[in-house]
A = this chain, B = another copy of it.
Amino acid sequence: MPKAKYEDIYHNLKEKLENETWPYGSLLPSENTLVSVYECSRNTIRRALSSLAEEGYIQSIHGKGVRVIYQPLERTAFTVGGIESFQETARRNHFQPATKVIQFSVVPADEAMAKETGFAMGEELFFLRRVRCIDGKALILDINIFLKALVPGLTPEIAEKSIYEYIENKLGMQIVTSKRKITVERASKTDRECLDLGDYDCLAVITGQTFNSDGIMFEYTQSRHHPDYFCFQDTAIRKR
């Protein structure tokens, strides 16, 4: 539950934008009007608006108003974006998810791995690989490497369900920042063995580091996606 006022306002405005209370291309009520409506200071309104601008819902125009640039999208593809677990994404897209753990081991970080992942050498790591299936088809190969010290008690059984659920609810650790990079790679022998790639010879790869609320990196991930089930959305705002 959000307790901050600007978060309430943000969610309320977001919902109204998605409902097309104000249609695409129109102007929002002025900030001062919103101040009266929500009974708060202009700073608080501006904070909510700036979050919506970052997410591509609106755009402020100096001296003029705030333009709606949100357009309702067709939900055909399996989209990712933001920090979201496989489970959450599957549920949002109304798919039946399944996970198969194909590797679960504990290893120390050697030099090559330290360089690639960003963990310190010698750190004890959980190394696991999982295949994600949707409607019976194997579509995503996930490689997760966790700092063992920060994810105590992790088992293959938990990995079969939802690791993020375990981390956040059972361990009480909060995931905050995630740095990622997206590339396209040729399918390896393992990819072809684990996934139903058909005659594709490439896949979409999301490689990332995840940081907890102490600002410590505790996870390195590689998510290897079937091309047909990959769609990443993003909004950028130009800085001068």
Contacts and interface: CB of A to CB of B under 8 A. Distances in A.
Given A213-B61, A227-B185, A236 B177 contact: yes
Copies of the polypeptide in the assembly = 2
A66 B116 CA distance: 25
Contact of A238 (B69, B178, B232, B237): B178
A58 B177 CA distance: 9
A99 B68 CA distance: 35
A176 B59 contact: yes
Contacts of A183: 77, 204, 227, 230-232
Nearest to A185: B227
A235 interface: yes
Interface residues of A, number: 58
A182 B232 contact: yes
A83 B186 CA distance: 27
Nearest to A70: B179
A217 interface: yes
B231 A181 contact: yes
Contacts of A200: 186, 201-202
B234 A234 contact: yes
A59 B68 CA distance: 30
A54 interface: yes
Can you list the 3 inter-chain pairs with the closest CB atoms, starting with the nearest?
Answer: A67-B215, A202-B202, A184-B227
11 contacts: A59-B177, A67-B216, A83-B238, A177-B238, A178-B235, A180-B236, A181-B232, A182-B231, A185-B227, A186-B227, A234-B234
Interface of A: 2, 7, 25, 53-54, 56, 58-59, 61-62, 64, 67-69, 71, 77, 79, 81-83, 118, 174-186, 200-204, 211, 213-217, 225, 227, 230-240
